[in-house]
Structure 1
Amino acid sequence: MNRYPKLLLTACLALPFSSMASPLIVVADQGGASALPYYQDLVPEPTGQGAMQQNMGVHGAGAFPVQSAQLTPGSVQGRVINAPGLQPIFLVGDDELSKTWLSQHREHLKQIQAVGIVINVANAERFAEVSRWAADLKLVPAPANELAGRLSIRHYPVLITATAIQ
């Protein structure tokens, strides 16, 4: 017995009822300023067939300045977190403490394939300087106030993994 005509008939009968579905309801809209200016200039560099992306580039000046007012350079109290599946990320800024921290932790950050977020940087030239400090680590400029609030972080530089903030 062929089931396709029965399936087609069921689909045709269901179509009129699908248009009677109620409109979507907005559960929450917290407003705030659009983050689009920080992301519109992020353009991944092209990759060859089978090649890994080497670096995510920032083109143009629309992403700057990047400011994370809730975060300041300083010592971070390490603690355990539970964030399964989180790719290791680190937060740094354009300051001497971040420069020193990057030089001390660069190899470990490379081993765990951590991605860096430069959270306080004035312009593209300063971002290029921070990128030189990081050598071949992947970096993107972006504010981190919301992340800091969610994880109760007040200082940087900091490494955030699936199991710890350190």
Structure 2
Amino acid sequence: MFFMSRTVWPLAAGSLVVAMGWSQITLAAPDNQMSLQVVADIGGESARPYYVAIGGAGVPEHEGIQVARTAPYSIEDMLPVVTKTLSPGPVERRDLSLPAGFQPLFIVGDDPLSLSWLAARSQHLLEIGATGLAVNAQSAATLQLLLDAVPGLRIDPVAGDDLAVLLGLSHYPALITHAGVEQ
């Protein structure tokens, strides 16, 4: 004779109900032909590099996650820098109302117009403590030409597309101060 204690019976009965419920759901799904609908895909990067750790995934070792860089980045790592929305040309003076503590900055490229502009304005740029952004620079050598034109000033290679849109600029060289944009 089969005997179940009271403590085992509710657990067994519960399991039976769950099992029956799942079988009903499984059997009902093909009849209804329910399909999944993607509500959002917040993907981004492929998971393929992570598959290297799974030996049977067939992903070659060189496609796996790379070891973090330990050496510091250099200026050469940032070059060439290209800003598609800005080119050398005339800049009309416009008033701005930026906060009074705004540090002046200038936008240049490694073109002849920017080099002559820097040579003509270097003293003024030094006096106001401006910082430079090289928005179009092909190499470390052409960036060095810009730096040599204004000894003592900092010029960093930076893509300026967002800044161009923000300030409504399409050309450079330009000087941006708290009072306005000018060439």
TM-score between the two structures when normalised by the length of structure 2:
0.58
The answer on whether the counterparts of 2:122 and 2:149 sit within 8 Å (CA) in structure 1 is: no
Distance 1:100 1:61 in 2: 24
1:65 has 2:66 as partner: no
- Which structure is higher in strand share? 1
Aligned residues between the structures: 112
Q: Which amino acid aligns with 1:105?
A: R
Instruction: Give CA-to-partner distance per residue, 1:11-38, whole Å, 9 cap, x none.
Output: xxxxxxxxxxxxxxxxxx9x9xxxxxxx
- Name 2:90's counterpart in structure 1: 75
1:131 maps to what in 2?
A: 147
| C-alpha distance in 1 between matches for 2:178 and 2:159 | 20
Higher helix share: 2
Structure 2 stretches of 5 or more lacking a match?
1-41, 45-71
The share of aligned pairs that are identical, in percent, is: 35
Change (3 A) 1:60 1:155: closer
- Asked if structure 1 preserves the Cα contact closer than 8 Å seen for 2:135 and 2:159, the reply is yes
Q: Give structure 1 regions of 4+ aligned residues with deviation exceeding 4 angstroms.
A: none
CA RMSD of aligned residues (A): 1.7
If asked which structure has higher relative contact order (CA below 8 Å, sep 6+), I would say: 1
Relative to structure 1, is the Cα distance of residues 83 and 104 closer, same or farther in structure 2, using a 3 angstrom cutoff? same
Question: 2:170 & 2:75 partners in 1: Cα distance?
Answer: 29
Q: Given residue 165 of structure 2, which amino acid in structure 1 is its aligned partner? A: G
Q: CA deviation at 1:63?
A: 0.2
From the superposition, tell whether residues 104 and 150 of structure 1 become closer, same or farther in structure 2 (CA, over 3 Å).
same
Alpha-carbon distance in 1 for matches of 2:148, 2:141? 11
Aligned twin of 2:109: 93
Q: Which has the larger radius of gyration?
A: 2
Superposition TM-score, scaled by structure 1 size: 0.64
How much has 1:60 moved relative to structure 2? 4.9
Distance 1:83 1:129 in 2: 30
